[in-house]
Amino acid sequence: MKYVDVKEVFAEIPDEITLAVSISGCPIRCPGCHSRYLWDDVGEPLTAEALADMLRSHAGVTCLCLMGGDQDPALIDSLARWVKENTSIRTAWYSGRTKLPPEISPRHFDYLKTGPYDPARGPLNVRTTNQRLYRVEGGTLTDITHRFWR
Protein backbone atom coordinates (compact mmCIF):
# COMPACT_ATOMS: atom_id res chain seq x y z
CA MET A 1 0.00 0.00 0.00
CA LYS A 2 1.26 3.48 -0.88
CA TYR A 3 0.57 7.06 0.13
CA VAL A 4 0.69 10.13 -2.07
CA ASP A 5 0.56 13.13 0.23
CA VAL A 6 0.42 14.23 3.84
CA LYS A 7 -1.33 17.40 5.04
CA GLU A 8 -2.23 19.02 8.34
CA VAL A 9 -5.98 19.64 8.22
CA PHE A 10 -8.66 20.96 10.54
CA ALA A 11 -11.90 19.87 8.88
CA GLU A 12 -11.66 16.06 8.64
CA ILE A 13 -12.00 15.21 12.35
CA PRO A 14 -13.88 17.61 14.68
CA ASP A 15 -11.77 19.22 17.44
CA GLU A 16 -8.53 17.64 16.18
CA ILE A 17 -5.41 18.91 14.45
CA THR A 18 -5.24 16.08 11.98
CA LEU A 19 -2.43 14.72 9.89
CA ALA A 20 -4.26 13.37 6.83
CA VAL A 21 -2.41 10.71 4.84
CA SER A 22 -3.87 10.17 1.35
CA ILE A 23 -3.54 6.52 0.32
CA SER A 24 -3.48 5.52 -3.35
CA GLY A 25 -4.86 2.44 -5.08
CA CYS A 26 -8.48 3.08 -4.12
CA PRO A 27 -10.71 0.18 -5.22
CA ILE A 28 -13.98 2.01 -4.38
CA ARG A 29 -13.77 4.59 -7.21
CA CYS A 30 -16.82 6.65 -6.25
CA PRO A 31 -18.60 8.52 -9.06
CA GLY A 32 -17.85 12.21 -8.58
CA CYS A 33 -14.67 11.48 -6.59
CA HIS A 34 -12.64 14.64 -5.88
CA SER A 35 -9.41 12.63 -5.61
CA ARG A 36 -9.28 10.50 -8.75
CA TYR A 37 -5.49 10.69 -8.66
CA LEU A 38 -5.72 8.26 -5.73
CA TRP A 39 -7.26 5.54 -7.91
CA ASP A 40 -3.85 4.60 -9.30
CA ASP A 41 -1.27 2.65 -7.31
CA VAL A 42 1.28 5.46 -6.99
CA GLY A 43 3.42 7.03 -4.27
CA GLU A 44 5.66 5.81 -1.51
CA PRO A 45 5.19 2.65 0.62
CA LEU A 46 3.14 3.26 3.77
CA THR A 47 4.91 1.63 6.71
CA ALA A 48 5.14 2.15 10.46
CA GLU A 49 8.56 3.74 9.85
CA ALA A 50 7.04 6.18 7.34
CA LEU A 51 4.30 7.05 9.86
CA ALA A 52 6.90 7.63 12.59
CA ASP A 53 8.77 10.03 10.28
CA MET A 54 5.54 11.85 9.40
CA LEU A 55 4.54 12.26 13.03
CA ARG A 56 8.02 13.53 13.99
CA SER A 57 7.83 16.06 11.15
CA HIS A 58 4.39 17.31 12.22
CA ALA A 59 4.72 17.99 15.93
CA GLY A 60 1.49 19.26 17.44
CA VAL A 61 -0.97 17.10 15.52
CA THR A 62 -3.48 15.33 17.73
CA CYS A 63 -4.84 12.78 15.26
CA LEU A 64 -3.58 10.70 12.36
CA CYS A 65 -6.22 10.06 9.68
CA LEU A 66 -5.58 7.38 7.09
CA MET A 67 -7.57 8.52 4.05
CA GLY A 68 -8.32 5.35 2.09
CA GLY A 69 -6.59 2.01 2.19
CA ASP A 70 -9.71 0.01 1.41
CA GLN A 71 -7.58 -2.38 -0.65
CA ASP A 72 -5.81 -3.63 2.52
CA PRO A 73 -7.84 -3.13 5.73
CA ALA A 74 -5.58 -5.54 7.65
CA LEU A 75 -2.61 -3.24 7.02
CA ILE A 76 -4.69 -0.17 7.97
CA ASP A 77 -5.58 -1.88 11.25
CA SER A 78 -1.95 -2.86 11.86
CA LEU A 79 -0.73 0.70 11.28
CA ALA A 80 -3.41 2.16 13.56
CA ARG A 81 -2.47 -0.37 16.25
CA TRP A 82 1.19 0.68 15.90
CA VAL A 83 0.25 4.36 16.35
CA LYS A 84 -1.88 3.55 19.43
CA GLU A 85 0.91 1.46 20.99
CA ASN A 86 3.76 3.87 20.26
CA THR A 87 2.36 7.39 20.43
CA SER A 88 -0.29 9.48 22.18
CA ILE A 89 -1.82 10.47 18.82
CA ARG A 90 -5.46 9.56 18.17
CA THR A 91 -6.24 7.51 15.06
CA ALA A 92 -8.88 7.73 12.33
CA TRP A 93 -9.71 5.87 9.14
CA TYR A 94 -11.74 7.24 6.24
CA SER A 95 -13.13 4.25 4.37
CA GLY A 96 -15.35 4.18 1.30
CA ARG A 97 -16.90 0.90 2.44
CA THR A 98 -20.47 0.81 3.71
CA LYS A 99 -19.51 -1.49 6.61
CA LEU A 100 -16.32 -2.04 8.53
CA PRO A 101 -14.46 -5.12 7.30
CA PRO A 102 -13.69 -7.87 9.84
CA GLU A 103 -9.95 -7.03 9.67
CA ILE A 104 -10.63 -3.69 11.38
CA SER A 105 -10.63 -3.63 15.17
CA PRO A 106 -12.44 -0.53 16.44
CA ARG A 107 -10.23 -0.54 19.55
CA HIS A 108 -7.32 0.60 17.34
CA PHE A 109 -9.21 3.73 16.29
CA ASP A 110 -10.69 6.83 17.86
CA TYR A 111 -12.67 7.74 14.73
CA LEU A 112 -14.03 5.72 11.81
CA LYS A 113 -15.71 7.12 8.69
CA THR A 114 -17.70 4.79 6.45
CA GLY A 115 -19.54 5.18 3.19
CA PRO A 116 -18.69 5.84 -0.43
CA TYR A 117 -19.19 9.33 -1.77
CA ASP A 118 -22.62 9.53 -3.41
CA PRO A 119 -22.97 12.75 -5.44
CA ALA A 120 -26.78 12.57 -5.14
CA ARG A 121 -26.55 12.53 -1.31
CA GLY A 122 -23.56 14.81 -0.86
CA PRO A 123 -20.48 14.89 1.39
CA LEU A 124 -20.27 14.69 5.19
CA ASN A 125 -21.20 18.34 5.68
CA VAL A 126 -24.77 17.97 4.37
CA ARG A 127 -27.66 16.32 6.22
CA THR A 128 -28.53 14.07 3.26
CA THR A 129 -25.12 12.34 3.20
CA ASN A 130 -24.90 8.57 3.29
CA GLN A 131 -21.44 8.80 4.86
CA ARG A 132 -20.99 8.50 8.63
CA LEU A 133 -18.25 9.53 11.04
CA TYR A 134 -18.12 7.65 14.32
CA ARG A 135 -16.28 8.44 17.54
CA VAL A 136 -15.02 5.18 19.07
CA GLU A 137 -15.01 4.95 22.86
CA GLY A 138 -14.58 1.66 24.69
CA GLY A 139 -15.40 -0.27 21.52
CA THR A 140 -18.69 1.60 21.07
CA LEU A 141 -19.23 3.61 17.88
CA THR A 142 -21.16 6.86 18.33
CA ASP A 143 -22.33 8.66 15.19
CA ILE A 144 -20.96 12.23 15.24
CA THR A 145 -21.69 13.07 11.60
CA HIS A 146 -23.96 15.91 12.73
CA ARG A 147 -20.84 17.82 13.86
CA PHE A 148 -20.17 18.62 10.16
CA TRP A 149 -23.63 20.02 9.42
CA ARG A 150 -24.08 23.75 9.10
CA distance 22 to 44: 11
CA distance 123 to 129: 6
DSSP strand pairing (18-23 vs 63-67): parallel
H helix intervals, 58-135: 73-86
Segment 45-70 shows an average pLDDT of 95
Tally Cβ neighbours within 10 Å of residue 130: 15
* pLDDT at residue 93, as a whole number: 96
Segment 75-98 shows an average pLDDT of 96
Assess whether pLDDT exceeds 90 at residue 139.
Answer: no
Beta carbons of 64 and 85 less than 8 angstroms apart: no
Contacts of 88 (CB under 8 A, 6+ apart): none
CA distance 53 to 14: 24
* pLDDT at residue 28, as a whole number: 85
Q: Which band of pLDDT confidence, cut at 50, 70 and 90, is reported for residue 103? A: very high
Segment 5-20 shows an average pLDDT of 96
pTM, to two decimals? 0.94
Segment 10-38 shows an average pLDDT of 90
Q: What is the mean pLDDT of the chain?
A: 94
CA distance 83 to 64: 8
